[in-house]
A and B are shown apart, each in its own frame.
Chain A
Amino acid sequence: MDNKTPHCQQNGDTGLQGMLTDVMNELIDEVTLGLCFDIHRASKIGTLFLGDTDPKSQREYEIVEKLGVDVFGQVATKKQFECVCPNCQRNLAASRFAPHLEKCMGMGRNSSRIASRRQARIAKESETSSRVATTGKGDSDDHDSPDDDNDVDWSYNVDKKVKKLKKEKILTHSPRRNKHNKFRNGNHLAGDNSSDRSGTPEPTIPSYELMTVEERKQLLLQTCGVISEHTKKMCTRSHRCPQHTDEQRRQVRVFLLGHANVEDDVHIDIDSLDDVDNQSLRESLQWEVNSSASSPTDSTSTNNSTSGAKKRPPSKSNSSKNSNSKKKKGSKHTTSSVTNSHGGSGNSISSSSMYDFE
């Protein structure tokens, strides 16, 4: 018995081992049977080969199992991701995308001004190019205006003067002007400058014969005002209108205001313009601002001038104070110099007086 017990134990162990293996195999067989049922069912239903594609593509997309290579069989390299800017359609590295957007679209802090300005410029340029394409003319006018913008922003000084300027700018940028230009283009094919002038419509300005001297003065401060030979109407464009020369403008002013008035135009303007007139003018200008605020170009110009005012260096502000104080004394010299610095040096006397109401 003693001998037998370990043997028996061993036998029992192997027997137990065998039994356990049998149990395990049964389990495996059962799972396999389950799979067989599944496959059979799938084959009878017709879903067995649905997941398969053609062997060629299957080979193509086989998972690669090699060292140092990803599942697509590509060597792992640092990939430079690229984004396309939705605004300017440029390709950019992903890491540079956010800073670029900041500049390009103004989608970051502190850059909306730059962006809106650029957009305005682009719009202006496209407008210009189309205009130049149709006629060779209008070049000087369009080249003027961006330059003037810059002047307003960076070299010209603030206070009421800038506000006035700004309004003046808005006036010149208003859609009405574009209409004029188009009209002019159509006429230009037919004839020369004089015939051009005849085509200019005068929708708002009443006949100048009916106006008082003060009203005429107001009008001439705002517009070119040269009287057409054919329609007997006044030009409504700004003082820098390219169709009329400074000489023509001067003549009109002599004609409308009388010789003496024109000679010392500046003095009269400074002294004689009282508050009431100013108020009404300001109101009319304000109305202009509001009405044209929706156009992107105009809003940009307002932005520019205000920001330009903020960025003005201290030395400039000093000089502006100086000029202001001098101006209060009514010094003719100062006013003319201010006008020159503004860049409108070629303009008539009235244009210099235009900015010096206060």
Chain B
Amino acid sequence: MADPQDRKLKDAQMRATINQKLVETGERERLKELLRTRLIECGWRDQLKAHCKEVVKEKGLEHITVDDLVQEITPKGRALVPDDVKKELLQRIRTFLAEQSNI
């Protein structure tokens, strides 16, 4: 069946289109800024920073690399984001897409 492949292709196209739209209009930067402030406000950044310090202490100040940090931190970072912030972000993206499709 070519159906799942076809859908995959469609999905990829759509994702590319959405990303392109987001970047082109500058909405992506705006969303990122909003997310950053929200995360700082809710203490996510501080929590994650404390976790980073532990990681750095474990690995040693000299031997730590950015890759190590990213590997350790990214899953934790995703998990620690509060649901409210996630919801708000999703809502923003959705409304943006709705506006774009209307035009």
Are the CB atoms of B86 and A39 closer together than 8 Å?
Answer: no
In the assembled complex, the Cα of A27 lies from the Cα of B88 at a distance in Å of 13
**What is the 8 Å Cβ interface bit string for chain B, positions 69-82, against chain A (1 contact, 0 not)?**
11001100110010
Q: Which A residues, 25 to 45, have Cβ-Cβ distances below 8 Å to chain B?
A: 25, 27-37, 39-40, 43
Are the CB atoms of B93 and A15 closer together than 8 Å?
Answer: no
- A139 contacts the other chain (CB 8 A): no
A-chain residues with CB within 8 Å of residue B90 when the two chains form the complex: 20-21, 24
B-chain residues with CB within 8 Å of residue A20 when the two chains form the complex: 90, 93-94, 97
Are the CB atoms of B69 and A40 closer together than 8 Å?
Answer: yes
- A94 contacts the other chain (CB 8 A): no
Known contacts being A24-B90, A39-B69, A43-B61, is A19 close to B14, with CB within 8 Å?
yes
Q: How large is the interface on B (under 10, 10 to 19, 20 to 34, 35 or more residues)?
A: 35 or more
Interface size on A, residues (CB 8 A): 27
Are the CB atoms of B35 and A31 closer together than 8 Å?
Answer: yes
- Name A19's closest neighbour in chain B (CB-CB): B15
Q: State how many angstroms separate the Cβ of B94 from the closest Cβ of chain A.
A: 7
* Further 10 A-B residue pairs, CB within 8 A, beyond A35-B73, A39-B52: A11-B7, A15-B11, A16-B14, A19-B18, A24-B86, A28-B78, A30-B32, A32-B78, A39-B56, A43-B56
Can you list 26 A-B pairs with a CB-CB distance of less than 8 A? Answer: A19-B15, A23-B18, A23-B19, A23-B93, A24-B93, A27-B32, A27-B35, A27-B89, A28-B77, A30-B32, A31-B35, A32-B48, A32-B73, A34-B36, A36-B69, A36-B70, A36-B73, A37-B66, A39-B52, A39-B53, A39-B69, A40-B64, A40-B65, A40-B66, A43-B64, A46-B61
Binding site for A on B (CB under 8 A): 7, 11, 14-15, 18-19, 22, 28, 31-32, 35-36, 39, 45, 48-49, 52-53, 56, 61, 64-66, 69-70, 73-74, 77-78, 81, 86, 89-90, 93-94, 97
